[in-house]
Homo-oligomer: A and B are copies of this chain.
Amino acid sequence: MHSKQELEEVHKRILPYIHITPVLQSGLLNKISGADLYFKCENFQRMGAFKMRGATNAILQLSKEQQQKGVVTHSSGNFAQALSLAAKSLGVPAYIVMPSTAPQVKKDAVKTYGGKITECAPNLKDREETAEKIMRETGAAFLHPSNNTNVILGQGTAAMELLKEHQDLDFMVTPVGGGGLVAGTALAAHFFGNNCQTIGAEPFEVDDAYRSLKSGKIETNKTTDTIGDGLKTQLGDKNFPIIQKYVSEIIRVEEAEIIEALKLIWERMKIVIEPSSATALAAVLRENEKFRNKKIGIIISGGNVDLSNLPF
Contact = CB atoms under 8 A, between A and B. Distances in A.
B263 A307 contact: yes
A193 to B, nearest CB: 27
* Interface residue SS majority, chain A: loop
Interface stretch (A32-40, A88-96, A267-275): A267-275
Interface in A268-312: 270-273, 303, 305, 307-308, 310, 312
A312 B105 CA distance: 15
Interface string A96-113: 000000000000000000
A307 B268 CA distance: 12
Contacts of A271: 270-272
Interface string A20-55: 001000000000000000000001100010000000
A308 B310 CA distance: 9
A265 B52 CA distance: 21
A305 B310 CA distance: 14
Contacts of A308: 312
Interface string A60-83: 000000000000000000000000
A271 B305 CA distance: 12
B310 A270 contact: no
Contacts of A44: 270
Contacts of A312: 307-308, 310
Nearest to A311: B307
A277 to B, nearest CB: 11
A212 to B, nearest CB: 31
Contacts of A48: 270
Contact of A307 (B22, B43, B266, B303): B266
A137 to B, nearest CB: 33
Contact of A266 (B22, B263, B267, B272): B272
A145 to B, nearest CB: 21
A263 B270 CA distance: 14
Most buried by B among A263, A270, A307: A270
B270 A303 contact: yes
19 contacts: A22-B22, A44-B270, A48-B270, A266-B272, A266-B307, A267-B272, A267-B305, A267-B307, A270-B271, A270-B272, A270-B273, A270-B303, A271-B272, A272-B272, A307-B310, A307-B312, A308-B312, A310-B310, A310-B312
Interface of A: 22, 43-44, 48, 263, 266-267, 270-273, 303, 305, 307-308, 310, 312
Given A48-B270, A272-B272, A308-B312, 18 more contacts: A22-B22, A43-B270, A44-B270, A263-B307, A266-B272, A267-B272, A267-B305, A267-B307, A270-B271, A270-B272, A270-B273, A270-B303, A271-B271, A271-B272, A307-B310, A307-B312, A310-B310, A310-B312
The 8 lowest CB-CB distance pairs between A and B, nearest first, are A270-B303, A307-B312, A270-B272, A43-B270, A266-B272, A308-B312, A271-B271, A44-B270
